Amino acid sequence: MPYIKEICVAGGIIEICKYYTYRVNVKGEKRAVKEKQTSEAQKRVNQRKAEKDLRRLMAANFKNGDVVVRLDFHKRPVGSEEMQAMISKAVRNMGNAYRRAGITFKYIYVKEVGHRGGRHIHMIMNRDEGVDILKCLTKYWPHGGIHVDPWTTGPNFQKLASYFIKYALKTEETEGRLIGKRWYSSRNLTKPRIRKIVIRSNRFKEKVAEKKGYVLEKDSVRSGVSDFTGFRYFSYVLTLIGQEGSG
C-alpha cells in the first residue's frame, strides 16, 4: 500500500524517512497496537518532532568552526521574560557588530530556567574571522559568565538539538507554562528543503540507498513502529563527504 518517502536536504546532510500516515490509505499494512495517547505520550511525540525540526534547521545553517555558547547570570533573573529582555538586547547589539564588519549574524538560542533556580542561555551562532567572538560577547553580555566551545561534529546536530529542547521543556515545566517560544532564531536562517513523495507500493524496503559523494551517518538508522500511528517507519541520514565531524 502507499507510503510517504520524505527527503530533507539541510546543509551537508540528506535525511530519508519512510512512513505511513493517516492521510494515505494503508489498507493491507498490518498495524501494531497503538499506544493510548496520554498527555505524557503526546508530550514525547511533540518533543521528538521539535528535536527533528530544530536539528534540521541547525544543519541547514551552521557548520564546523561555528560556536556553541552558554551565557550565565551573576544575579538570577526572576524568570524567562526578564531573561528574554537581556538576551534580545545582546543579540541585537551583536547583530549590529556583525553588520559593521560586513558579516551576516546567525543564531539560535533557548532559555533554561532550572527547577533549583539556575538560569542560563544556550546558543549556537556563526563565527567569522572578521569578528572577535569572545570580545563581542564580553562587551554585550555583562550579566554573567560566558562559555564558548567550537562546533566540531559536522552537520550532525542530533545531540545539540536534543539538549536545546530539553532546556526549553525544563523552563516550561519550571514556570508552569510556555512563555514565548521554545527556541528563538535570527530571521535570516535558511530553511531545510523538504520533499514528500507518495510511493504506490505494497511495502517499503528498510534499506539504505547509497548516494555518490555521501556517507551514511553513524547511528542514524532508525526502524520501528510509531507509538503515534501504530505503523512502521524507517529513516537514516547521509552526510556529504568532507563535512563529517572530527569529534
Q: Return the CATH number at 109.
A: 3.30.70.1910
* DSSP E strand boundaries for 74-141: 107-113, 119-125
For residue 131, is it within any domain? Answer: yes
For residue 147, is it within any domain? Answer: yes
For residue 21, is it within any domain? Answer: no
CB-neighbour burial class of residue 75 (10 A; exposed 0-12, middle 13-18, buried 19+): exposed
Which residues are within 8 A (CB) of 115 and not within 5 positions of it... i.e. 6 or more apart?
A: 170, 173, 174
For residue 90, is it within any domain? Answer: yes
For residue 231, is it within any domain? Answer: no
The grid cell for 142 is: 555583562
Range of the domain at 103: 61-185
For residue 54, is it within any domain? Answer: no
State the DSSP string of 171-199.
HHHHHTS--S-S-EE-TTPPPPEEEEEEE
For residue 214, count other CB atoms closer than 10 A to its CB. Answer: 16
User: For the chain, how many structural domains are there in total?
Assistant: 1
Q: Kindly give the confidence (pLDDT) of every residue in the chain, 247 residues in length, as a single tens digit, with 9 standing for 90 and above.
A: 689 999 999 999 999 999 987 655 555 555 554 555 567 777 888 899 999 999 999 999 999 999 999 999 999 999 999 999 999 999 999 999 999 999 999 999 999 999 988 999 999 999 999 999 999 999 999 999 999 999 998 898 999 999 999 999 999 999 999 999 999 999 999 999 999 999 988 789 999 999 999 999 888 999 998 877 788 899 999 999 988 775 5
For residue 48, is it within any domain? Answer: no
For residue 47, is it within any domain? Answer: no
pTM above 0.85, yes or no: yes
